Amino acid sequence: MVAESSSQTAGGAGPLAGVRIVEFAGIGPGPFACMMLADMGAEVVTLDRIGSARNLKGIAERGRKWVHVDLKDVNSIGEVLELLCAADALIEGFRPGVMERLGLGPDVVLSRNPGLVYGRMTGWGQSGPLANAAGHDINYISITGALAAIGPRERPVPPLNLVGDFGGGALYLLVGVLAALMEAKKSGRGQVVDAAMCDGAASLMTMFFDLSASGKWVEGREQNMLDGGAHFYGAFECACGNFVSIGSIEPQFYALLRQHAGLLDSEFDAQMDPVAWPNLKQKLAAVFKSKTREEWCKIMEGTDVCFAPVLTMAEASHHKHMVSRQAFLTRHGVLQPAPAPRFSRTPSMVRDPEELPLASVVQRWKDHR
């Protein structure tokens, strides 16, 4: 079981303590990136529209100082500019041109605070023929080759919104902002970080473009080792209706799979023959269907077969390994992933959101600039 956590995890203030970030409220990857920055100790002040309500239980909202502001009001824009003059970074996820129309574009803000890192999170990027079009994760990864490679032969399947929004979006924004902050410490100059989900998703496909260039990747789903084509790399249903996963790629791991699954048929000698994969996959599926997930865990879990049970989100927090690493926590009755990655000396912390008036934040940041 996962115990109810206090407002923070035990430990220090995080590796980003002292870094000040202004977030313009949005949805998806921007807030997720700011959650991670806040977990790592940055002071994140989120500017949201007047009348918006905070959800104390919201996972991605944790750790922020929330400020209500009218971005259509000239005086409020003036206060925002004052706040940005004392900030290290800005993160926004509007369509291209919105911040400029508000009078908060990079030219204006960087002229007042030349050392500011200006992080921009979009799906299509700040330029290009689709820059101003609406879209979602599934669209952004569609033009990168990623979506076409995921799913059964019949059709592509959305990999949740992990590849575009969070992998190619939030994490690339995070890396870009942190890199720009490091450079700004040396040069004293900030810059714009144009983080586009389509760029990030394309970058995540690097290994597969490499495999394709070396003739080790075939266009088409379920025809390659890592896309469900191979019998030794995939998920299999058990007698109980649950699933297990195997990734027995290396010869020594494949030998262990054969040993623990009782694969004595000489046909299984042809591990790396793609022509044999469909038949071997069918035979292996029948073997896994002969026992329950729990029985297979007793046989294979913890061995070098490269095996794991396929768990639901509700089950994941109870797995012995995840419990041992305290990978999940419960806050305000809500189960959620704990901060990652882990730091040996300045551990991340989970803090509750806090609402403050804009003027008080501006004054405090100015006083401690």
Task: Name the residues annotated as catalytic.
Answer: 136, 165
Which residues have C-beta within 8 Å of that of residue 359, sequence separation ≥ 6? 79
Alpha-carbon distance 75 to 192, whole Å?
25
Cβ atoms of residues 94 and 26 within 8 Å? yes
Per DSSP, 339 falls in state: P
Three-class SS state of 227: coil
For 197, 198, 354, the CA distances from 205, given in Å and listed in that order, are 12, 11, 39
> What is the pairing mode between strands 243-247 and 307-310?
antiparallel
Angle at 344 between CA 339 and CA 349, to 5 degrees: 30
CB 62 within 8 A of CB 351: yes
The answer to whether 359 and 68 have CB atoms below 8 angstroms apart is no
Residue 54 · residue 355 · CB < 8 Å: yes
119 forms beta bridges with: 91, 193
Structure tokens at 242: 């649950």
- Which pair of tokens denotes residue 344? 């040996």
**Which residue do the tokens 């882990």 mark?**
342
Dist. CA 150–CA 226, nearest whole Å? 10
Handedness of CA 89, 85, 23, 40 (dihedral sign): positive
Residue showing tokens 């639901």: 312
Structural tokens at position 246: 């195997």
Residue 90 vs residues 44, 189, 215: alpha-carbon distances, Å? 9, 14, 43
Torsion sign, CA atoms 326, 312, 235, 290:
positive
- Which of 218, 205, 211 is CA-nearest to residue 153? 218
